Amino acid sequence: MSRIYLSPPEVGSEERRMLLEAFDSNWIAPLGPDVDAFEAEFADRIGTGHAVALSSGTAALHLALLLLGVGPGDEVLVPSFTFVATANAVRYLGARPVFVDCSAATWNIDPELVTGELDDRARQGRLPKAVITVDLYGQAADYDALQPVCDTYDLPLIEDAAEALGGTYKGRAAGSFGAAGIFSFNGNKIITTSGGGMLVADSAELAERARYLATQARDPFPHYEHTAIGFNYRLSNLLAALGRAQLRGLDSRINRRHRINRCYRAAFSELPGIDFMPVADYGEPNYWLTCITIDPGRFGVDREVVRLALEKADIESRPTWKPLHLQPVFADDPVVGGSVSAQIFDRGLCLPSGSALSDHELDRIADIVRGLAR
Ligand SMILES: *Cc1c(COP(=O)(O)O)cnc(C)c1O
């Protein structure tokens, strides 16, 4: 029996074919026809005017914040319950994250806390420069509750949809809300280019500027001429070919992950003290990871006991994100609320959710968890 990973890449003959086609065409140089095609196909899928293929989701966040005017000394509202990259990008610009707790009903940034904080800050004349939302574990934040208050104060919203490709909110694609959206194609995300990301936006100007900054800010001269500080943030053509093949298989991957989620729900339905990450009725997640919380008082043992029992059977599971307001590196940054995400972290566990997970493997996992219940 081989190790079961949390969310391993799944690649097949289509990926191999398209990657080798790009290789054989000699488009090894960073940019090329597969980058252009990947961007066009991606923008089409999300329903945004433009998409810019980048070397990572973190790079996409960095550029989005930069292009929306975030700079040294600014503050940016950031969900506390997310992966560290969301807040790191704020720090790259010399700005400061202001962490906002999540709602227990969605695990995403709490619109009421955002509204209260922005109202307070407006009264005090110290509004932040931007608001970042995260579509956590593949479920969209509540945009109808978040966008109007951002509009009221004329703040750009940046949607970190790194985990949510293919998820929807009221029928609209995750990533298409806000002034810019970002995605990640890291190895454990729902589709992967081994490493890569995408910035999407309706603004042609923003997309053009992102392409320019991502390619060392080269001005249009025959020699190398520069009027801005740029970055080396573009996705290579070979990886874009891989991404195109992965994108074609996105819907079947979502279906498979959704099915895995249903299997876990069925397997644990009789167990006391296990709850699933709530699915909001406003949209369809992509079911990137299936996450549960374990109430030790009712279940019998705590999350760590379950995680270690799985690990002993060579099965990888992981605690849910540790809230950023509890991370030592952000100890000095302000936080609004915080107890909801802290409690989820205390009890939360992400279960193996890869699209290639077999029914037999699901049974093995469920048996171990069931065996621990009181
Ligand atoms: C993965 C992830 C990122 C970073 O993406 P990379 O491609 O790994 O740089 C950013 N935000 C969230 C919420 C993520 O899960």
CATH number at residue 305: 3.90.1150.10
Is the domain of 228 the same as that of 301?
no
Q: Is the pLDDT of residue 24 over 80?
A: yes
Q: Is the pLDDT of residue 30 over 80?
A: no
Read off the pLDDT of residues 244-287 as tens digits, 9 standing for 90 and up. 999 999 999 999 999 999 999 999 999 999 999 999 999 999 99
Number of independent structural domains in the chain: 2
Q: What share of the chain is helix, strand, coil (3-state, %, to 5)?
A: 40, 15, 40
Angle at which helix 250-268 crosses helix 359-372, to 10 degrees, equals: 30
Give how far Cα 322 sits from Cα of 76, 177, 230, 282, Å: 19, 26, 32, 26
The reply to whether 182 falls in a domain is: yes
Secondary structure of residue 335 in the 3-state scheme: strand
Which tokens hold the place of 162? 């790194």
Distance (angstroms) between ligand 1 centre and the Cα of 373 equals 34
Q: Which of 52, 54, 58, 90 to mutate to test the pocket of ligand 1 (most atoms within 8 A of CB)?
A: 58
Is the domain of 344 the same as that of 314?
yes
Is the domain of 133 the same as that of 234?
yes
Is the domain of 234 the same as that of 259?
no
The reply to whether 5 falls in a domain is: no
DSSP bridge partners of 233: none
Is the domain of 334 the same as that of 215?
no
The parent domain of residue 83 ranges over: 13-249
Read off the pLDDT of residues 42-100 as tens digits, 9 standing for 90 and up. 999 999 999 999 999 999 999 999 999 999 999 999 999 999 999 999 999 999 999 99
Among the three residues 215, 249, 283, which one is the final residue of a domain in this structure? Answer: 249
What is the value of pTM for the model shown? Answer: 0.97
Is the domain of 154 the same as that of 280?
no
Instruction: Compute the distance between CA of residue 56 and CA of residue 3 in angstroms, rounded to an integer.
Output: 27
Is the domain of 142 the same as that of 288?
no
For ligand 1, say whether the CB of 58 is within 6 Å of any of its atoms.
Answer: yes
Is the domain of 101 the same as that of 120?
yes
Please give the DSSP secondary-structure letter assigned to residue 58: H
Which residues fall within 8 angstroms of residue 164, CB to CB, at 6 or more apart?
135, 136, 138, 139, 140, 174, 175, 285, 286, 288
Is the domain of 98 the same as that of 235?
yes
Distance (angstroms) between ligand 1 centre and the Cα of 8 equals 15
Residue closest to 131 by CA, chosen among 164, 177, 173, 169 = 177
The reply to whether 352 falls in a domain is: yes
Is the domain of 231 the same as that of 260?
no
For ligand 1, say whether the CB of 197 is within 6 Å of any of its atoms.
Answer: yes
The reply to whether 31 falls in a domain is: yes
Is the domain of 161 the same as that of 238?
yes
The reply to whether 6 falls in a domain is: no
**For all residues of the chain together, what is the average pLDDT?**
96
Residue closest to 134 by CA, chosen among 194, 195, 64, 71 = 64
The reply to whether 291 falls in a domain is: yes
The reply to whether 176 falls in a domain is: yes
Contact between 352 and 361 (Cβ < 8 Å): yes
Read off the pLDDT of residues 306-325 as tens digits, 9 standing for 90 and up. 999 999 999 999 999 999 99
Q: What is the dihedral of CA 358, 346, 336, 98, to 10 degrees?
A: -60
The reply to whether 3 falls in a domain is: no
Instruction: Compute the distance between CA of residue 285 and CA of residue 258 in angstroms, rounded to an integer.
Output: 9
> What pLDDT, on a 0 to 100 scale, did the predictor assign at position 339?
98
Among the three residues 225, 249, 273, which one is the final residue of a domain in this structure? Answer: 249
Residue closest to 188 by CA, chosen among 2, 8, 5, 372 = 8
Max Cα–Cα distance, the chain, nearest Å: 72
Among the three residues 249, 277, 312, which one is the final residue of a domain in this structure? Answer: 249
CATH number at residue 189: 3.40.640.10
Is the domain of 293 the same as that of 233?
no
For ligand 1, say whether the CB of 86 is within 6 Å of any of its atoms.
Answer: yes
